[in-house]
A = this chain, B = another copy of it.
Amino acid sequence: MDEASFLAGYNPRDYPAVAVTVDVVALTIRDGKLCVLLVERGQSPFAGHRALPGGFVRDEALDEAALRELAEETGLTPGDGNQLDRVHLEQLKTYGDPDRDPRMRVVSVAYLAFAPHLPEPTAGSDAAGAYWVPVDEAKDLAFDHDQVLAEGLERARDKLEYTPLATAFVGTEFTISELRQVYTTVWGEELHAGNFHRKVLSVPGFVESTGETSARGGERGGPKARLYRAGDARLLHPALLRPTREDRVR
């Protein structure tokens, strides 16, 4: 289509019908593992495969559609004072290869969601077919969802470096250790506890002290730890860089 016909106005009936959906890569940490929310597909295509939760966009903004899908699959109601209100949602990427869905042209806007510990979706609800799966067991997903998940994980790992995203995985009050465990879980690498501590406290606006102390020490011993909450920084400066970056440079 040239510029003239573009300006002449839209006539979508001249083009094949396109469906627009949202898919959500919802990540949380359960039992020390990074997990993603998946749904079981009952019907063809990809019957028996698992897929990212998602669905058609209605008369709503794309962000709203993503939050709605997440709410439906987790069984939680947004704005209800539950953990869903603390979920961090951001757009990941849009996937629109002509043959990514065998039935028709589907353009899917993928979202990335970071959540603190959410309850297991309850059976009997709309969310009956959804459950949390450790990311390293989430393979063979329907459509191009393997790729979507992979790109979502890469984005999450990167954002941990230069944004306070890690605080979205813990409760409103947390210890430096809990925060460090988010990093080690998502990155799959151990971090030097002392240096991490120094670094987190030295980045302006990353965390602020509550003045309180945790109720008890670690599971296997150790002293009580001071509690912090997320600060007002939107970017970490200086950033918390991953130790072994050289591998990922080229």
- Which size class do A's interface residues fall under? 35 or more
Give, as a whole number of angstroms, the nearest-CB distance from A135 to chain B.
Answer: 22
A7 at the interface (CB under 8 A from B): yes
Q: Which residues does chain B contribute within 8 Å of A18, judged by CB atoms?
A: 12, 18-20, 57
Q: For the complex, what is the distance from the CA of A167 to the CA of B141, rounded to whole Å? A: 37
- Of the listed stretches A26-34, A189-197, A220-228, A229-237, name the one at the interface; the rest are far from the partner chain: A229-237
Instruction: Describe A's contact surface by its main secondary structure.
Output: loop
Q: For the complex, what is the distance from the CA of A57 to the CA of B129, rounded to whole Å? A: 34
Oligomer copy total: 2
A249 at the interface (CB under 8 A from B): yes
B126 touches A2 (CB 8 A): yes
A107 at the interface (CB under 8 A from B): yes
83-117 of chain A: CB within 8 A of chain B:
91, 93-98, 101, 103-107, 109
B104 touches A12 (CB 8 A): yes
Contact among B9, B17, B56, B232 with A6 in the assembled complex (CB-CB below 8 Å): B56
Q: Which residues does chain B contribute within 8 Å of A59, judged by CB atoms?
A: 16, 98, 105
Q: For the complex, what is the distance from the CA of A93 to the CA of B61, rounded to whole Å? A: 14
Give, as a whole number of angstroms, the nearest-CB distance from A125 to chain B.
Answer: 10
142-169 of chain A: CB within 8 A of chain B:
none
1-42 of chain A: CB within 8 A of chain B:
1-4, 6-10, 12, 15-20, 39, 41-42
A204 touches B249 (CB 8 A): yes
A248 at the interface (CB under 8 A from B): yes
Closest 3 CB pairs of A and B: A62-B96, A94-B94, A12-B19
Instruction: Beyond A2-B126, A205-B250, list 13 extra A-B contacts (CB 8 Å).
Output: A3-B128, A3-B130, A6-B54, A9-B103, A12-B17, A12-B19, A15-B56, A61-B96, A61-B98, A94-B109, A96-B109, A107-B107, A233-B250
